[in-house]
Structure 1
């Protein structure tokens, strides 16, 4: 039985740049980081408290391609207008130039360091 989402894995080209983005800009905590023993890749697990939300994968054989990335990763937020302004101030590339409102909440998309599509969503 499925009880929830464990985490979302994202292929990255530069682990340090991605760690900086996800921790310093988005505010996630680095929970664990190590080299995979059977595949030559480095893994970093980020989240809130002890709950892993994102796994960054660096060094996988072959290039990181758009097909190899997750379509988008959505984070639940409060005060989405403030988050929108903070990302603009920090120079984060915004995909959406304004916040979109839906019947169940508000959202906007922006890009991570490897042009991965990220979303902030505030539920009503």
Structure 2
């Protein structure tokens, strides 16, 4: 049997590197582990951590094609972050002029959650535990 021990990271290709870097570091509060510019690809690679754990690999590429996100397209659906308090999370996002969808309740767990979009319209969920 395959012995997977966890998720290592999620890779995201952005259309505006500085805007996405600001979003993931300043708004979401991830920390930079490493940042390199790959001259041969004209591409940045930014490794981001949450609580010291590597979680996001942010890439820039010249002119990446848009990815269909909504309506529900096949493929990766969204990135979900675990939060302690959904109300505090929504207030924090509002301070950055980021509108969250109305808070919903998971019908199976009774937990509250909401969605926003990152600078490239990637759906991001915040799930209260």
Q: Mapping of 1:46-57 within 5 angstroms?
A: 46-57=48-59
Q: CA RMSD in A?
A: 2.2
Q: Distance in 2 between matches of 1:49 and 1:85?
A: 21
Q: Distance in 1 between matches of 2:17 and 2:64?
A: 14
TM-score by structure 1 length?
0.84
Q: Which digits, 9 at most, give the CA deviation of each residue in 1:75-98, with x for residues without a partner?
A: 11111111112212311143x2x1
- Pick aligned residue for 1:101 from 105, 122, 127: 105
Q: Distance in 2 between matches of 1:3 and 1:64?
A: 33
- Rg larger in 1 or in 2? 2
Residues 9, 54 of structure 2: 8 Å contact kept: yes
- Pick aligned residue for 2:96 from 78, 86, 90: 90
Q: Distance in 1 between matches of 2:42 and 2:68?
A: 20
Could you tell me which runs of 5 or more consecutive residues in structure 1 were left unpaired when the two chains were aligned: none
Name 2:72's counterpart in structure 1. Answer: none
Name 2:61's counterpart in structure 1. Answer: 59
Number of residue pairs matched by the alignment:
120
Q: Distance in 2 between matches of 1:91 and 1:53?
A: 25
TM-score by structure 2 length?
0.81
Q: Distance in 2 between matches of 1:54 and 1:115?
A: 16
Name 1:111's counterpart in structure 2. Answer: 117
- Pick aligned residue for 2:4 from 2, 6, 16: 2
